[in-house]
Structure 1
Amino acid sequence: MSDTKVPQHPIGATLAPIDDSVMLTLERPLAATTPEVWFALTNRRVISGWAPYRPSRDLSEIGIVHLPEATTATALDDDDDNPESRGEVLTIVPGRMLSLAWGDDTLDFEVVPAETGTVLTLRHTFDDPDTASSYAAGWHLCLAALDGITQGIEVPAMTGEAAKLHGWDALNEQYEKLFARENHPR
């Protein structure tokens, strides 16, 4: 990982088959309060500091939203016609759960108050199990950035090519090993 003051999280995720898809689940304790985490999950300006996408609007209402990748978005651009940037807020339980369609994938964020802050659970459902470790490494960095931002830490860009500067390659390898052990325990 980089030498920034971004909070560090241990390697941890699960992968489960769901029909013709797989669900990657990451659960992270965050130091911030649940309202602070919720704001960071739904406010488009804050999202741009931690997420791999740049929404065209706040994610506080159900409906269509453009979600271009952070590496291709410019100044919160909302007219990207790339099919990968299609998005929709599917479900909202304010202060508790946010469900998004991002391209062909589904992202579910759940926040639960905890004694020391908030527990955030991210479930990412997608089709190609061969991309699981890549997604896990990317989300690992994104959730660390989210943790930092909600603590008031200035977080550097950690998505796209910048992710490699923050240990994405090593994380990808560690998640590959984790998922291989889950599928082939000794």
Structure 2
Amino acid sequence: MSYDSSAVIESHVDAAPERVWFALTDAAALTAWYWPAAMQPRAFSEPVVGGRFGVEAGEMGFAGEYRELDPPRRLVQSWRWAGDDRDSRVTIELTPAGAGTALRIVHDQVDDETAEMYRAGWESCLTRLPAYLEVTPSAGSR
């Protein structure tokens, strides 16, 4: 099987890159927006190179390791979905865009079918991010 496919997702949110970075790297923030609250997600995050992160809800979940952190511009992490036998890689780039932030997510080192599933998953998750940022105005201003 070939693992040279990628899911590429581009999005925009009306929040500064620092706030988006916080939402992507803080455990409580991930718990609040990554999956629907009805799923009762739990998260952990140690945003340092070599630190671990993950989100789980019931039997679903993923975990990985932070490989590169350049706040609030770029984050690279290994990624393993629960039950998988190999890691993939996620690269997230945040670029100031007007009064908000452009996000570019590349989830690579996967096969074609997995790339499509991850693209749909990221797009679903990102639909909840703006609402989290709207109701959490101080996110990232610690």
**TM tier, smaller:** 0.7 to 0.9
The Cα offsets for residues 141-185 of structure 1, whole Å up to 9 and x where unpaired, read as 1111112211217xxxxxxxxxxxxxxxxxxxxxxxxxxxxxxxx
Structure 1 match to 2:139 = none
Which 5+ residue runs of structure 1 have no aligned equivalent? 1-18, 74-83, 154-186
Structure-1 separation of matches of 2:67 and 2:27: 16
Per-residue deviation at 1:56? 2.4
The Cα offsets for residues 19-40 of structure 1, whole Å up to 9 and x where unpaired, read as 8421111110111111111110
Question: Size of the alignment, in residue pairs?
Answer: 124
Q: Say yes or no: does 1:50 pair with 2:37.
A: no
Instruction: Select the structure with the greater relative contact order (CA < 8 A; seq sep ≥ 6).
Output: 2
Which 5+ residue runs of structure 2 have no aligned equivalent? 36-40, 81-86, 137-142
Structure-2 separation of matches of 1:107 and 1:50: 18
Deviation beyond 3 Å, 4+ runs, structure 1: 52-55, 68-73
Select the structure of larger CA radius of gyration: 1
Structure 2 match to 1:134 = 117
Q: Percent identity?
A: 30
Match of 1:69 among 50, 53, 56: 56
Structure-2 separation of matches of 1:86 and 1:141: 18
**TM-score (normalizing by structure 2):** 0.75
